[in-house]
Structure 1
Amino acid sequence: MEQLPLLFIAIFLMAFCLLGRWFARTIVTAPMLALGFGAFLAWGNLVPEQIAKAHLHVLAEIALVILLFLDAARIDIQSLLKRHRWPLRTLIIGMPLAFVGGTAVIWLLFPGWPLAVAALLGAILVPTDAALGRSVVTNEDVPERHRRAITIESGLNDGIALPMILMLAALSAPAAAAPTGGWILYTVLQVTLGPLVGAGLGVLGGIGLLAAQERDLTSPLYEGIATLSLAAAAYFAATAVGGNGFIAAFAAGIGFACIVRDRCQFVYDFSESEGQLLSWAAFFGIGALLVPEAIASLNVPMAAAIALSLAVVRPLAIWISLIGSDADPSTRLFIGWFGPRGLATALFALLVVEKFAPELGDFVLHFAINTVWISALLHGVTAVPMAKAFAAHQSMKTSQR
């Protein structure tokens, strides 16, 4: 019966895909189901022996490299330059405000932990994941500008938050062996060499792809493999010279997008197919291996901090960031609420947890994982009804003009 859990997983995946369009019209999302099904198998002692936390760390790193690259590569640079006011405000003003607010809430509710730990968690909770509100960003009744603002913010904020997370992780783990040259030099090299190497390779890769296309030397199949290889090359090249590979992958995606723009259909096709499967696999692994332990550690202060982060800190930060723009109050509330914490939050926590002693590492990891499953539930349930209500409200406003 060792194959029974794998059989359950295969049947679950097939059933979901056969009902995928129907699920898209309901309050049930793919991440919500993947997390829940993984936790269900864990509570029933049915998690396959082939799935271990070590494997989850490997999957997390692969997923993070690919998703960081694809998120950046999918950014419509021209649209961002033309209609950039909302997303730039949410990134330049909203993100720092959300970080400061989240840090303050966690520090006040957990005074026993150092401020650096509260700041680390505040940074880990900043990135958003549009996939958890997919019904919003794919609903064509919602004005395109609103959907684009949410998508651009989600695509860029994880890469922007990563350097801060790495620095705070180093500050929060003083017991870790200091690298040659000290933590300051290490951090500077991580956050400077990574972007330089990644952006350079992204630009060169984009130029090479366009040259191959113009000379009819390649095809969509090979372009796809080349694009993924570019993300991997950026990661390993940055690591080899002392930079951070994850930041490099994100920077490579931006450099690639600046050159290629919309001439690499693979980036979009992969994100909608194999990229979705990779994301589901990561959510399933998180549900099966981390959610049960995280729920067991959930207490009143942690639940309060998570609720404030999701329902107060983030919406308030976005509201303030859009003051002075043409965003009306309903738009500020809508964009502020749809900042779900998803895969980036979980993967960043997994990325830094090994730097800490078990007690501190467990606290950071459980806090992040509890935030992810609670956000998946709340934002998943509200995505369809709120998108419909907001679209109707915007349509009525337009008709009254």
Structure 2
Amino acid sequence: MSELNIALTAVGGLVLVIGLFSGAIRRSTLSEPLVALLAGILLGPAVLGLLDPAGWGSQETILEQAARLTLAISLMGVALRLPKREPFRGWQSLTVLLGLVMPLMWLVSGLLVYLTLGVPFFVALLVGAVVTPTDPVVSSTIVTGELAEENLPNRLRYTLSGESGANDGLAYPFVLLPILLLSRPPGEALSHWLTHTLLWEVGAAVVFGALVGYGAGWLLERAQGAGTMEKTSFLAYTIALSLAVLGSAKLLGTDGVLAVFVAGLAFDAAVSESDRAEEERVQEAVNRFFILPIFVLLGLAIPWEGWMELGWAGLLLALAVLLLRRLPAVLALKPLLGRVGGTRDALFLGWFGPIGVAALFYANLAVREAGVEEAWVVGSLVICASILAHGLSATPLTRLYERRAQNDETRE
């Protein structure tokens, strides 16, 4: 009970403090996830020893489910933040990022793990899949707020938001394929992956999310028209939609994370602009409360001994993943990226593909389903490296982007 009270005090106090200084934090070289991560490390067994998640039950289950809930809330916020027609306006760049860049990110990450750590090839592919998705939680701290709105063009902010929202759920088949190959004969694994994972778990998630999301939006509009719903119900409505879709999609055996994002887009298409603006405000307000605790939890659960066993190879791998997983692929394919195909946009998109809560979710899923501990040890190291690198570089590089844009306009 004392640990629960300490956790409530720490998390509640942290949210209060970050809320009071959120503007200053975003204008500094710090980021909210980094502050929360450091708070978790401070409170955890490695420093003060006030909180130890190892004594709370199955750490893998706690981390996996906490990350899953955080993703659901965050993905709904991302979907509501995107303009209604944004997926259609940005179809070319999103298609390239999801259809070409994402598979390359998986293969490059897996190859780096294989060459650096010398683990079996399918294990390397699994770890590579864990760190593939661009995280919507960390991305939101980069592309939202006054600093981002003043210095980054909408096309760039919306593209990164849309990609990070979609590829979290689309990372699921990349994770499942090596899990199946590790546990079944190759032919059986591929057959199950094609017919069950892709067609049902992914395909049905898209259809289910679209139907439920649009239906929820339609019902909201009817309730508004009939005067049976108060404005104060908006917050509960979107949170309930996020959680209902997440749970029901899982009960149907589909990809719940992808279903939530699709439901958010469909809901967004069904509601009026005034309702949409209200939903966006309340959803973004609640995001902070749900997002920060997961990074505190990560700080508490860091596998320090596992990191030490990796040694310099682990640090080299983390650095290589951050530099090579995404940036070369985006630069190589920038002629195909449409409206974000300029060099400056491609460099920003290529660097800011942060690794965070989605990787935390898939890392613990991999441990539970395949018993691959490397997924958690390596995954947590790369996540923390990404939070540090992308958190510290977000503000200066955002300002640099705007300065370069102004210089280019002056030359013209």
Alignment correspondent of 2:41: 39
Alignment correspondent of 2:170: 160
Distance 1:273 1:312, change over 3 A: same
Alignment correspondent of 1:302: 314
Task: Output the CA distance in 1 between the equivalents of 2:62 and 2:251.
Answer: 23
1:176-215 → structure 2 map (5 Å cutoff):
186-187=196-197, 188-215=199-226
Matching of residue 67 in structure 1 with residue 74 in structure 2: yes
Matching of residue 28 in structure 1 with residue 27 in structure 2: no
Contact 1:137 1:148 in 2 (8 A): no
In structure 1, the gaps of 5 or more residues are none
Computed over aligned residues only, the root mean square deviation of the Cα atoms, in angstroms, reads: 2.9
Distance 1:169 1:216, change over 3 A: farther
Q: How far apart are residue 216 of structure 1 and its match?
A: 2.4
Alignment correspondent of 1:335: 349
Whichever structure has more helix as a proportion of its residues is 2
Task: Output the CA distance in 1 between the equivalents of 2:356 and 2:389.
Answer: 12
Task: Output the CA distance in 1 between the equivalents of 2:173 and 2:192.
Answer: 17
Contact 1:173 1:355 in 2 (8 A): no
Contact 2:249 2:256 in 1 (8 A): yes
Task: Output the CA distance in 2 between the equivalents of 1:11 and 1:94.
Answer: 40
Task: Output the CA distance in 2 between the equivalents of 1:381 and 1:8.
Answer: 23
Q: How far apart are residue 95 of structure 1 and its match?
A: 1.4
Contact 1:76 1:261 in 2 (8 A): no
Matching of residue 93 in structure 1 with residue 100 in structure 2: yes
Please report the TM-score for the alignment, with normalisation by the length of structure 2: 0.85
Q: How far apart are residue 63 of structure 1 and its match?
A: 1.9
Aligned length: 394
Task: Output the CA distance in 2 between the equivalents of 1:119 and 1:128.
Answer: 17
Contact 2:170 2:202 in 1 (8 A): no
Contact 1:89 1:322 in 2 (8 A): no
Q: How far apart are residue 170 of structure 1 and its match?
A: 3.1
Deviations 1:339-395 (A, max 9, x none): 1111111122123321123xx2x2101111111111111111111111111110011
Alignment correspondent of 2:155: 145
Distance 1:293 1:356, change over 3 A: farther
Alignment correspondent of 1:286: 298
In structure 2, the gaps of 5 or more residues are none
Instruction: Indicate the SS of the match to 2:151.
Output: coil
Distance 1:259 1:165, change over 3 A: farther
Distance 1:85 1:400, change over 3 A: farther
Task: Output the CA distance in 1 between the equivalents of 2:276 and 2:295.
Answer: 27
Distance 1:144 1:249, change over 3 A: closer
Q: State the percentage of identical aligned residues.
A: 24
Q: How far apart are residue 266 of structure 1 and its match?
A: 4.8
Task: Output the CA distance in 2 between the equivalents of 1:93 and 1:236.
Answer: 30
Please identify, of 307-316 and 326-335, the stretch whose mean Cα deviation from structure 2 is larger.
326-335
Deviations 1:215-259 (A, max 9, x none): 222123223322222233323333333333333223322322332
Alignment correspondent of 2:258: 247
Please report the TM-score for the alignment, with normalisation by the length of structure 1: 0.87
